[in-house]
Structure 1
Amino acid sequence: MQNQSFVTEFVLLGLSQNPNVQKIGFVIFLFSYIATVGGNLLIVVTIISSPALLGSPMDVFLAFLAFLDVCYSSAFAPKMIVDSLHERKTISFEGCMTQLFAEYLFAGAEIIILSAMAYDHYVTICKPLRYLSLMNGRLCGILMGVAWTGGFLHSVIQILFTFQLPFRGPNVINHFLRDLYPLLELACTDTHILGLLVVGSSGFICIIKFSLLLISYCVILFSRRTHSSEGRRKALANYGSYISVVVLFFVPCISLYARPPSAFSFDKMVAIFYTIVTPLLNPVIYTFRNKEVKNAIRKLWTKLLAVFN
């Protein structure tokens, strides 16, 4: 079946029609994107350049997560920054599909890698004597391959459904992103079934993954109940950062996709959160509780300063 769309481009209304709000959005988007890319790339470079960190499965996953955040943010932010300077914001049909593909690819891969990190924590605490046999370089490579494959398949499924929709009339999207639900509202056909498929393939999967991750961390913390109160506080502080990342990632996704496909007034704010805030906070949250990574960053900066001096 071939695409029946006669629409060659979509027009976005943006974050607001107020020019002053658009200027504020430009500044926020620009500096947030620079900080996101800089912070996450610093983590990637630090871990890659440190043999001790590169030998730790958790730090390898952390570098991979930071790389995914850079890719995910780069799929949206540059266009958002440019659009905030223009009164008329457009994107081609092909460009819209490309951005949707990138969104589901990197988000799907991130869901799987967050699950892999939770498994690493579980093995570390609950199976310490078997850690080296259960978590090795080969398994890390397999899990990262599974993350790419899972994200790719999830993205392809969403795009195949969307690409078949006929867009023959309105092309104005009341959003600053090319997201799936706003597109469904423009399709010249009944999208009720497709909307339910999106809820099932994205919303319910997010709920299930989120629940399993929270349960796994509860099991980890429960296993520390026999330790001293100081040990329990340290465990709660250490794993609290990882739980925070999981909450920051999944809650916005659940609020958007685990409901009927219709537009709500708060959707734009939720979109700002998961496209701008979450990738920006991830490196801060992870490095704040990771002494090894912080020490490696200090050593890297010391080497760089020595080179330039």
Structure 2
Amino acid sequence: MKSLTITSPAKVNLHLEVLKKRADGYHELLTIFHRISLADTLTLQKKPAGITIQTNHPGVPTGHRNMIWKAFEMVKKDFPFEGGVTVRLKKRIPVAGGLGGGSSNAASFLLGLKRLYRLPLTQKALLKMGARLGADVNFFLLNTRQALGEGAGERLKSLSCQKRFWFVLVTMPKALSTARVYSVLQPADYREPSLTKKIQIAKLPHGLSKYLLAQKQVSLRNDLQAASIRCYPALSRVLKLFDSLNVKARLISGSGPSVFGVTTSKNKAAELAKQIRKSLRTYKQIIVCHSL
């Protein structure tokens, strides 16, 4: 095999709870990752040595700051092999949009590189590297639609989810870094974890489907939302727009600046997207997608 192509899906966080700040400066989280159909495409091609990254997006670094590059160097160090790779990355996931694009790219690259060179990478080894690369990477290494994430998000438990949701994503014109959002996060933005039991959170997607079908309001939680709005005040306008359009469940995904509304059908999502485009005429990144 000289080359292969692999998809790299995005995610939304249906729940994101900040539990506490750790001694190392990171925050303990409890979150629900949900895989969606919006995806990038990676084509990996063998070459004699090293790594070259090519992309259609000017905002994506093609050097050592790219998580794909870091993943390649990590594999070369831990599992040395002869050969290199050219990566052609076709971006569809908004960059720095709170949708896990960079983490997904790194995970898909690891899985693709394993296949391309038939590397002896076990699931345990992949997850160990994923945790070192970034908090969201391990979710994309799992073959699951949905997972409960703990720690910084790297400790995962797959959650059963038979229901397919439809999403309308609105991504703000300017990127928002996760580091910036955490830098303005205040203790008052998150509350004690005892108020929401882990077992109840794990059942949230089932309850979400039930409430949406009954046309009832669903209060989704993201403890980073207030900090994201401090960094990007226009996010509140999008949230209010979803409310005015009678969307029963909406939330900022991760650290933003993407906001999603949840519906139960393709037709409802398409109609919602149409209404949003009328109100936000200058916004180009309004995307309809579904659970993967």
Sort the TM-score into its range (normalised by shorter chain): under 0.3
The structure number with the bigger radius of gyration is 1
User: Which protein is richer in strand relative to its size?
Assistant: 2
TM-score normalised by structure 2 residue count:
0.27
TM-score normalised by structure 1 residue count:
0.26
